[in-house]
Amino acid sequence: LVLIGIAMFLAAGANAGLLGTYYNLPSTHPDMERWITGFDPGYVQNTLTGDAPTLTAYGATRVLQWDWWDPSYEVFSRVDSDADLQSNFASSWFPVNTGLPGDPYDFAVHWDGTFYVDADKSYDYTMGSDDDSWLFIDGQLVLDLGGVHGMTYTNYTVNLTEGWHDIDIFFAERHVSQSGFQLNFFSDLVPENPVPEPGTLVLVGLGLVGLAARRFRR
């Protein structure tokens, strides 16, 4: 079990970041290319109970078709690194273009994964987005940057217990002509169900074989 744990840790470390699932929405979608609302929090409920946030009564008056992360729009998944999330996506970020009307604008992303904190205490972080974004930790909403707006930042302090925690981030780019996302987090992030790099698997396998042989010689 110890050896398996070591292998899982090394494989995850090779893909540090979050697993991003990307969705392409056409510009004809009723929530794309509408009015610019500005920063407009309050669309989603505080508890994440399914594959996407649930609208509040207020959100239902602001959103016409709440299917932005529906599997029918999915185009690809990948692990986005800590560096990507911290800086590489901050401006002029248009990762989705499959030829739909309005591309490369009008898309959505769901990032998910886990992170570890080594003590019970308060942790600070900063997140920014253009347009909507919502961040959940352990299924609870801790940051709301809803609305169609330019790059908007906010700081937050969250109280956490020592151990592993789940993280989910939902993002949507809904209006030309800019797009961006940025997350400065307090812990290394581990993607949900990461795909190990082949080289990592080889090294882990060789290490396990060596440990097993050493134990056998004893």
Are 175 and 67 in the same domain? Answer: yes
Mean pLDDT (the chain) is 86
Kindly tell me if the per-residue pLDDT of 202 is higher than 80.
no
Are 204 and 96 in the same domain? Answer: no
- Interval 91-108 mean pLDDT: 96
Are 1 and 100 in the same domain? Answer: no
Are 133 and 205 in the same domain? Answer: no
Are 59 and 136 in the same domain? Answer: yes
Are 39 and 145 in the same domain? Answer: yes
Tally Cβ neighbours within 10 Å of residue 83.
11
Tally Cβ neighbours within 10 Å of residue 95.
18
User: In the chain, how many domains are there?
Assistant: 2
Res. 192 pLDDT band, cuts 50 70 90: confident
Q: Where are the beta strands (DSSP E) in the chain?
A: 17-24, 74-81, 107-117, 121-130, 132-137, 140-144, 152-160, 163-173, 180-184, 189-191
Percentage of the chain beyond pLDDT 90 is 75
pLDDT of 15 reads 61
pLDDT of 16 reads 84
Are 176 and 216 in the same domain? Answer: no
Residue matched to tokens 């510009």? 27
Residue 22 main-chain phi, psi, to 5 deg: -105, 140
Are 159 and 62 in the same domain? Answer: yes
Q: At what angle do helices 2-13 and 198-217 cross, to 10 degrees?
A: 160
Domain of residue 48, residue span: 18-187
Q: Which of 43-47, 169-173, 174-178 has the lowest mean pLDDT?
A: 174-178
**Paired strand residues for 164:** 116
- Give the CATH number of the domain where residue 79 resides: 2.60.120
- Interval 53-64 mean pLDDT: 99
- Interval 162-189 mean pLDDT: 94
Question: Rounded distance, CA 179 to CA 11, Å?
Answer: 32
Cα–Cα nearest to 133, from 117, 112, 152, 119: 152
Percentage of the chain beyond pLDDT 70 is 81
Are 32 and 1 in the same domain? Answer: no
Residue matched to tokens 């609305």? 147
Are 142 and 200 in the same domain? Answer: no
Res. 186 pLDDT band, cuts 50 70 90: confident
Task: Provide Rg for the chain, Cα atoms.
Answer: 20
Tokens of 4: 């398996």
Res. 8 pLDDT band, cuts 50 70 90: very low
Are 99 and 131 in the same domain? Answer: yes
What amino acid occupies position 145? L
pLDDT in tens, 123-174: 998 999 999 999 999 999 999 999 999 999 998 899 999 999 999 999 999 9
pLDDT of 188 reads 82
Are 6 and 23 in the same domain? Answer: no
Res. 193 pLDDT band, cuts 50 70 90: low
**Helix boundaries (H) for the chain:** 2-13, 57-62, 82-83, 198-217
Kindly tell me if the per-residue pLDDT of 70 is higher than 90.
yes
